[in-house]
Amino acid sequence: MRVLVVEDDDAVADGIVDGLADRAITATRVATGAAGIAAAAEQAPDLIVLDLGLPDIDGTEVCRRIRAASAVPIIIVSARDDEVDRVVALELGADDYIVKPFGMRELVARIHAILRRSGATDRGAGDEGSRLVIDSRARRVLLDGEPVHLTPREFDVLEYLARDRGAVYRRTDILRDVWDTTWFGTAKTLDAHIAAVRKKLGDPGWIESVRGVGFRLGEP
């Protein structure tokens, strides 16, 4: 996965590039709108993270120009949190909008969600060197090279945990993001799906429980 970061703030840009690198995502950074437009055409990235407050060209105009030439997914990251700014950016072709400050976990989750919808991602984050491979585009799971047959919801739960292997995900976040934003069901639903995935993977150590918090994907 190749991500282009168009951001003039060095601290923010370095944080994004380093944070993506920690998750095996290759990112390059440019600091101006003109450079972003040129890099989008020359590098053909899989996704663009675009700031609105650029020193030469407003980010909304950069978004419009890139969208006119390419269907590459674009995530806006901006300190502007007015509804008008969000609406304008989305109407110009942005795929998502995140208000600064934001966490890397949220950004990575949104990147994977967008690429999953667009079919641009081949496998889940962090699969390199693991016995467990999660192919997001084909919605397929392999364990030691053998297919693991999961229900659609079981796959969604496992893929969610695989976005940042080793990170602990809270129960409430999993229920909200895997089911939907208006989910008000019981946590027992999540427990049942976790138990089913553990059984199909053949070792409960793949999904570790963190008491009072949630779950994380391990490597037994």
Where do runs of H (alpha helix) occur along the chain?
Answer: 10-21, 33-43, 59-69, 83-91, 104-118, 152-162, 171-174, 188-201
Interhelix angle 59-69/83-91, nearest 10 degrees:
20
> Mean per-residue pLDDT for 100-109?
87
| C-beta atoms surrounding 179 within 10 Å | 17
Name the band, by pLDDT with cuts 50, 70 and 90, for residue 56: very high
pLDDT at 180: 61
Q: Which two tokens stand for residue 94?
A: 């942005």
Taking only the tens place, the pLDDT of each residue in 118-163 is: 655 444 444 555 789 888 767 889 998 899 999 988 998 998 898 8
User: How far from 216 is each of 1, 164, 173, 210, CA to CA, in Å?
Assistant: 23, 9, 12, 7
Residue 18 pLDDT > 80, yes or no? yes
pLDDT at 187: 64
Residue 164 pLDDT > 50, yes or no? yes
DSSP string of 58-70, one letter each residue: -HHHHHHHHHHH-
Percent of the chain with pLDDT over 70: 90
pLDDT at 113: 79
pLDDT at 22: 82
Whole-model pTM over 0.85: no
Name the residue among 159, 158, 165, 183 with its Cα closest to residue 173. Answer: 183
Name the band, by pLDDT with cuts 50, 70 and 90, for residue 105: confident
Residue 106 pLDDT > 80, yes or no? yes
> Mean per-residue pLDDT for 188-196?
90
Residue 116 pLDDT > 80, yes or no? no
> Mean per-residue pLDDT for 182-201?
81
Name the band, by pLDDT with cuts 50, 70 and 90, for residue 166: confident
* Distance between CA atoms of residues 76 and 6, nearest Å: 10
